[in-house]
Amino acid sequence: MVSLRLGGVRFVIYSNDHPPRHVHGFRGETEAIVDLRRNRTVALANRDDAVRPANAKKSDVMKILKAAAERFDELSALWEGLHGEK
């Protein structure tokens, strides 16, 4: 597992995780799973539990997405360092 704190958001990449390339972002009580897309954009993962809890503050989710976009290269490099290029 790799953990990195960026601007009030903690990102975690689990060593036993699966493609597609993604990170788990945490802000307060909110967790958002963020895909790191090949076109160098970020997006919430396309899965039912991409945001936890389901009633999380939208502002927290947006801050997680913004922080992931700002540090895209660093987060992608960390994912690829653990999992290879997938």
- pLDDT tens series, the chain, 86 aa: 999 998 899 999 999 999 999 999 999 999 999 999 999 999 999 999 999 999 999 999 999 999 999 999 999 999 999 998 76
Return the pLDDT at 86.
Answer: 62
Provide the residue type at 76 as one letter: S
Return the pLDDT at 50.
Answer: 98
Return the pLDDT at 80.
Answer: 94
Dist. CA 60–CA 79, nearest whole Å: 23
Return the pLDDT at 36.
Answer: 98
Provide the residue type at 30 as one letter: T
Domain that holds residue 7: 2-83
How many domains in the chain? 1
- Sequence-distant (≥ 6) Cβ neighbours of residue 28 within 8 angstroms: 57, 60
Q: Tell me if 51 sits within 8 A of 65, measured CB to CB.
A: no
